[in-house]
Every structure is written in C-alpha cells, then in structure tokens.
Chains A and B, each alone.
Chain A
Amino acid sequence: EDQVTQSPEALRLQEGESSSLNCSYTVSGLRGLFWYRQDPGKGPEFLFTLYSAGEEKEKERLKATLTKKESFLHITAPKPEDSATYLCAVQVGVMRFGAGTRLTVKP
C-alpha cells in the first residue's frame, strides 16, 4: 500500500533558526512529489513539485530536495510568517497527502 509519512508532526523554531522537515514515501509509480503550505482554515497552497531523485527547488527561504525514498523541505532563517502546516503529497494517479508538519516560528 502506498504510504506517505511526514516528520516531525510539529516543530517549534525561533526566528532565524534553520531546520528541515521530512517526507518519506513508499509508493510505486511515483509521478511527482509535491509540497504545499496550509494555513489554518484554508486550502493547501502549492509550493514545489519534484519529479526525480536529485532534483532541488527553491523559493525564498524554502528549499525542497528529493531522493528515491524521501524529500526534505529545508527552511533557512525562518520568520513568524512561515508558521503554517506543510504538507507533502505524492502523485500516483491521484494525489495523496501526508499528515503534515505543523511549523511554529516564534519571534
């Protein structure tokens, strides 16, 4: 069965304290791995798509990387406005989501 596991469930950082979120997956026929940001009470907002191992994408303080078994979302010098739940999703025909990492960045 296809599995997407995100860790940690929750992460509290001080402003400026860099860290990484993990998404591990066991799927067959992966057609893409996606990162989304979700604010409370809102719909997921697209961040990145990664298609193949070794690929990296960057956007402001965020960088996503992909290996054959996992993806990392690196957050460099985060700010309080980066506080949100970060969702990983894998495309295997349909898009299936992990449970997310709830990030809190304190000033």
Chain B
Amino acid sequence: EPEVTQTPSHQVTQMGQEVILRCVPISNHLYFYWYRQILGQKVEFLVSFYNNEISEKSEIFDDQFSVERPDGSNFTLKIRSTKLEDSAMYFCASSERSGEWGNTGELFFGEGSRLTVL
C-alpha cells in the first residue's frame, strides 16, 4: 500500500539552528501539505503546495518557514532559526486533488517528525 514517508522521525536541535524535515509523498499525488501538532493540542495546518508553489498558508507559516520540492520525489519543510515554541510533531500529507476546487478526498499522512528545540 502506498504511503507517505518522513525523515527524521525525531530531531533534537538548539534554539536558533536551522532544521530541514523531509517527506516523500505518494508518487502519483500532486498536492502536498505540512501540518504540525504541539503535544496535547490539535493538528494545525501550516501550508499547502502544488505545482512548485505555495497555494495556501496559515498565520503560523511565517518568514522562518519555507517549503521546497527539490526533486521529483522529496518535499521539505525548513525552519530557518528554530524557537522553543517550534517544538512539535510535524506531519507531511499528500492528496490527489486540491481543496480549492472541490474536495481533496482523503489526505494521506506520514508518521511524523518530532522536533525538540532546546
């Protein structure tokens, strides 16, 4: 069964350091997403990405965050200068369709990357 894979599963970093989280979406999907979940809180939308550009982003996704699809398979989330409050589980997801024009259908989520900022 196709799945979304994420690396690393856990990363510990010092405040102010740059972090890159990697995702391999399902191969025939065209729409990609990053969500985050702070421990004990709800899953929050960060950004959606299609055709090599951001299609929508939340207020959380400020200038410290960026996304990229550097090749045909990977989708990355970069945090330029991490803060303590960036500590969370980050989930990558992909879908076949965009929600802008209708329903995305099912979003397939990866297992997540746990980021701990010290």
Write the residues of chain A forming the contact surface with B, with a CB cutoff of 8 angstroms: 31-32, 34, 38, 41-46, 49, 51, 87, 89, 91-100
Give chain B residues whose Cβ lies under 8 Å from the Cβ of A43: 4, 91, 93, 109-112
Across the interface, do A93 and B43 meet the contact criterion of CB distance under 8 Å?
no
Chain B contact patch, size range: 20 to 34
Structural contact, A46 and B108, CB atoms closer than 8 A: yes
In the assembled complex, B103 has its CB within 8 A of some CB on chain A: yes
With both beta carbons as reference points, the residue of chain B lying nearest to A92 in the complex is identified as B99
- Is B105 an interface position by the 8 A CB rule? yes
Q: Is B73 an interface residue (CB 8 A)?
A: no
Taking the complex as formed, is B56 at the interface, i.e. its CB lies under 8 A from any CB of chain A? yes
State A68–B100 Cα separation when bound (angstroms). 21
For B99, list chain A residues within 8 Å (CB).
31, 91-95
> What DSSP secondary structure best describes chain B's contact surface?
loop
- How many contacts A-B (CB < 8 Å)? 61
A4 → chain B, closest Cβ, in Å? 9
* A44 with B43: CB separation less than 8 A: yes
Chain A neighbourhood of B110, CB < 8 A: 43
* Contact pattern, B 85-109, Cβ under 8 Å of A = 1, otherwise 0: 0000101010000011011111111
Cβ-defined contact, A97 with B43, below 8 A: yes
Can you name 8 A-B residue pairings with CB atoms under 8 Å? A42-B111, A42-B112, A43-B111, A44-B43, A44-B91, A49-B106, A51-B103, A94-B99
